[in-house]
Amino acid sequence: MDVRFIASFSVVTAHPAEDRGLFVDALGLPLSGDGEYVFSEQLPGAKHFGIWPLSQAAEACFGQPEWPDSHPMPQASVEFEVDDVEAAAHELEQKGYQLLHPTRTEPWNQTIARLQTPDGLLVGVCFTPWLHDS
């Protein structure tokens, strides 16, 4: 697998308003967005940094707004950019990792497959078109 770069890092939180207070109000990070998910693609050193509400992470991974008790509650998500998501996902499965969901294209046009570490970190292999030079 050839990882190109870290496409995204997000804090996963059950308390998005409180975390927004820390990251935006106290730290002064330039995060914005509609609704509870706030992010920036203008923060030096990060392609994308966000505060991802737990309910939205659960929806993305399991198609429901509640995080299932069968999986550890995540505190963060990291996504690695690859050229071929389907091949990367297959390689992970061949190495014994269980995907939370198969490769799919999200409504925001990112193709991604996700898994979770035993400690709860969400890990994605993805292709994010807008992060590439045209």
Residue 128 has pLDDT above 80, yes or no: yes
User: What is the average pLDDT across 1-13?
Assistant: 95
Are 14 and 79 within 8 A, CB to CB? no
pLDDT digits (tens, 9 = 90+) for 8-34: 999 999 999 899 999 999 999 999 987
We report the CATH number of the domain holding residue 120 as 3.10.180.10
Supply the pLDDT for residue 18: 92
Are 43 and 104 within 8 A, CB to CB? no
Cα-based distances in Å from 49 to 30, 37, 44, 129:
10, 11, 10, 16
User: What is the average pLDDT across 84-112?
Assistant: 96
Number of domain units in the chain: 1
Supply the pLDDT for residue 133: 72
The residue behind tokens 């996902």 is 89
Burial of 1 (0-12, 13-18, 19+ CB in 10 A): middle
pLDDT digits (tens, 9 = 90+) for 34-83: 789 999 999 998 999 999 999 999 999 999 999 999 999 999 999 999 99
Cα-based distances in Å from 95 to 30, 58, 89:
39, 25, 10
Supply the pLDDT for residue 134: 58
Listed residue (12, 65, 73) closest to 37, CA to CA: 12
Supply the pLDDT for residue 84: 97
DSSP three-state, residue 2: coil
Give residue 86's domain range. 5-131
Backbone torsions φ then ψ of 129, nearest 5 degrees: -55, -40
User: What is the average pLDDT across 84-105?
Assistant: 97
pTM of the model: 0.92
